[in-house]
Amino acid sequence: DAGVTQSPTHLIKTRGQQVTLRCSPKSGHDTVSWYQQALGQGPQFIFQYYEEEERQRGNFPDRFSGHQFPNYSSELNVNALLLGDSALYLCASSSVVDTQYFGPGTRLTVL
Amino acid sequence: AQSVTQPDIHITVSEGASLELRCNYSYGATPYLFWYVQSPGQGLQLLLKYFSGDTLVQGIKGFEAEFKRSQSSFNLRKPSVHWSDAAEYFCAVTNGGATNKLIFGTGTLLAVQP
């Protein structure tokens, strides 16, 4: 039974570009949450998707958007990248009967 | 607003010694509490969680944590630390359900001396 998977593992972009990160949830999970973890910090909640709708959102600008597909997988999109967007992006999946399990993350570097 | 405080940024213990990592939370109602561990460059692994019931909860890898409502604390303990326990540990809180957004502390980096 595969856990949460994320792709790509690493990504290097330049300022102003756009990026898409992908997440496949653990089998049986229908909810996907995204977190940003800057170096030396704890993860910060970006948003959560359930039934293909954004259900909760943290304090992140509209440059951060997402999508959930019918198979429960999800994408995180970031437009107009800034240097400060460099971080580890973590995806977590969950269900009403199971807590959040995290994927290995995508390391984004913005130059 | 909910918040989590982990007072110790960095802790060093000797292999075989006991360990206690501190976590204090701020939340009006009964919180859902978690401890996660993160090895370098890796994602987060769930160690244990508290939702309700017995205030002493057991987790994986020999870890346990005790919920103390009067002190707003949820400290993580292990009686005998192994070198493989060296990692960063995060305490987290959420409200209302297991799927709601997690609020994390800033983490405690654990080093283990031989």
> pLDDT for B26-75, tens place per residue?
986 778 899 999 998 788 999 999 988 889 999 999 999 999 999 999 99
Q: What range does the domain containing B94 cover?
A: 3-113
* B interface test, pick of A29, A53, A99 with most B CB neighbours within 10 Å: A99
Cβ contacts (< 8 Å) between B103 and chain A: which residues?
Answer: 45
Helices (H), chain A: none
Q: Residue B7 belongs to a domain with what CATH number?
A: 2.60.40.10
Asked if B43's CB is within 8 angstroms of A103's CB, the reply is yes
Cβ contacts (< 8 Å) between A4 and chain B: which residues?
Answer: 43
- Could you give the CA distance from residue A40 to residue A85 in angstroms, rounded to a whole number? 14
Name the residue facing B101 among A40, A42, A48 (closest C-beta): A48
**Burial degree of B73 (CB within 10 A; 0-12, 13-18, 19+):** middle
Does residue A45 belong to the interface with chain B, where contact is any CB pair within 8 Å?
Answer: yes
Flag whether pLDDT at A74 surpasses 80: yes
Closest-CA residue of A relative to B4 is A42
Tell me what pLDDT residue B96 has. 64
B69 to chain A, closest Cα gap in Å: 22
CB B113 within 8 A of CB B13: yes
Q: What is the mean pLDDT of residues B9-26?
A: 96
CATH number given to A5-110: 2.60.40.10
Bridge pairing between strands B10-14 and B108-113: parallel
B70 — alpha (psi -120 to 50), left (phi > 0) or beta? alpha
> pLDDT for B62-109, tens place per residue?
999 999 999 999 999 999 999 999 999 999 998 766 568 899 999 999
What is the domain count for chain B? 1
